[in-house]
Amino acid sequence: DSVINKIAAGEIIIQPANALKEMLENSIDARASSIEILVKDGGMKLLQITDNGHGINREDLPLLCERFATSKLAKFEDLESIMTYGFRGEALASISHISRLSVVTKTADSQLAYKAHYYNGQLASPNFKSTTANVEPKPIAGKDGTQIIVEDLFYNIPSRLKALRSKSEEFSKILDVIGRYAVHSEGVGFNCKKFGESYQILSTRPNLPLKERIRVVFGTSIANDLLDIALDGDETKEEGESAKEKYGLIKVKGAITSSSYDNKKKIQPVFFINNRLVACDPLKRAITSVFQYFLPKGSHPFIYLSLEIDPQNVDVNIHPTKREVRFLHEDEIIELVVDKVHLVLSNVDK
């Protein structure tokens, strides 16, 4: 039923930045090395994501926006080992129920690109009206990769539209999500423009060093004050047993600032767990409390941490709007990370 689907979709995607995050993850899953984002009116009018990833096969287009249609879950056992971001096949379906969604895509082994429009999860005519069986993807010329065009997000949910902040605030949230992925995604270049403007608001190239990515996104003063954090669960021994033996795979990478940089900005920590942008309040609180030993109270260091944890121990199936992640042995793993941060900060010459 399309009303129920619409309501469900409006609970998964509550602001343009949620839709954008899902699409960025899809592009990264498709192994893109370049992602271009075009935004009009805070994403309410237009969100367009263009990647150079592996594309979508023509025969997969009719069911692309069907709920639970996913190419990322071949068999049930994969649930336990899946390392890609999404596997629920719900994002595009949801977006197609609350916007006018178009896709242009080309795989390397196809001569042509195909363009398709969707309405309520189904292939539709170019005016997004007719969804009769004879609507088909249209062959056109195009480059390898995928472009997703989302127009008029929430056009059919007035209450959602009303609850949104200003265009510029919604745009800031979009930019924040892109910036975080740009810091984390080493092999991917990101470019973000506002519709009608020629300059890039955010621009990175693939394979920039971490420090340069942080400089582009968060500025020079943070980039010049970074301390590396690296931890390997294989090497951390406690009473003869490694952390890996105790809690499964653990790898931590990242960077923190050694000082407080700008109290006003209060940039939230950038946490990725198994390559998903997440919030993790217990980790945030624990690390913030370590900084209290080294910095004046109320300081706001910059924190970027990427954790790799045994996929079996992480609940990756988090709701797009609930970024808070849960994982097994959370206290113990957080303690390992905190000890490392403490050690790194202790070694700074004052």
For residue 167, the minimal CB distance to ligand ADP (Å) is 25
Find which of ligand ADP, Mg ion, none residue 89 binds, CB within 5 to 8 Å per kind: ligand ADP
64 binds ligand ADP (CB under 6 A): yes
CA gap 241, 84 in Å, rounded: 30
Q: Is 92 in the site for ligand ADP (CB under 6 A)?
A: yes
- Which residue number, 227 or 318, has a Cβ lying nearer to ligand ADP? 318
Which span sits near Mg ion by CB under 5 A: 88-96, 217-225, 226-234, 272-280?
A: 88-96
**Range in contact with ligand ADP (rule: CB under 6 A) among 46-54, 167-175, 261-269, 334-342:** 46-54
Q: Does 71 bind ligand ADP (CB under 6 A)?
A: yes
Residues of span 12-31 touching ligand ADP by CB under 6 A: 22, 26-27, 30
* Contact residues for 63 (Cβ-Cβ < 8 A; gap 6+): 69
Under the binding rule (CB under 5 A), the answer on residue 26 touching Mg ion is yes
Least distance (Å) from Mg ion to the CB of residue 158?
27
Minimal distance in Å, beta carbon 57 to Mg ion?
Answer: 17
Select from Mg ion, ligand ADP, none the partner in contact with residue 87, using the beta carbon and a kind-dependent cut-off of 5 to 8 Å. ligand ADP
Residue selected from 88, 193, 215, 276 as contacting ligand ADP according to rule CB under 6 A: 88
In whole angstroms, the minimum distance from the beta carbon of 26 to ligand ADP comes to 3
- CA-wise closest residue to 114 among 122, 106, 123: 106
Structure token digits, residue 17: 């930045």
Regarding 96 and contact with ligand ADP (CB under 6 A), the answer is: no
Enumerate residues 291-330 that contact ligand ADP by CB under 6 A: none
| Residue 91 binds Mg ion, judged by CB under 5 A | yes
Q: How far is CA 21 from CA 15, 163, 200, 259, in A?
A: 10, 19, 19, 30
The footprint of ligand ADP on this chain (CB under 6 A) covers a number of residues equal to 23
> Does residue 98 interact with ligand ADP by CB under 6 A?
no
Q: Which stretch binds ligand ADP (CB under 6 A): 86-94, 157-165, 193-201, 314-322?
A: 86-94
Q: Using the rule CB under 6 A, is 50 a contact of ligand ADP?
A: no
- d(CA 350, CA 342) in angstroms, rounded, equals 15
Closest distance to Mg ion from the beta carbon of 91 (Å): 4
Is residue 53 within the footprint of ligand ADP (CB under 6 A)?
yes
DSSP collapsed to 3 states, 86-116? CCCCCHHHHHHHCCEEEEEEECCCCCCEEEE
> Which option in ligand ADP, Mg ion, none does residue 218 bind, with CB closer than 5 to 8 A by kind?
none
Q: Which one, 85 or 261, has the nearer CB to Mg ion?
A: 85
Q: Please report, as ranges, the residues that interact with Mg ion according to CB under 5 A.
A: 26, 86, 91
Q: Please report, as ranges, the residues that interact with ligand ADP according to CB under 6 A.
A: 22, 26-27, 30, 51, 53-56, 64, 69-72, 86-93, 146
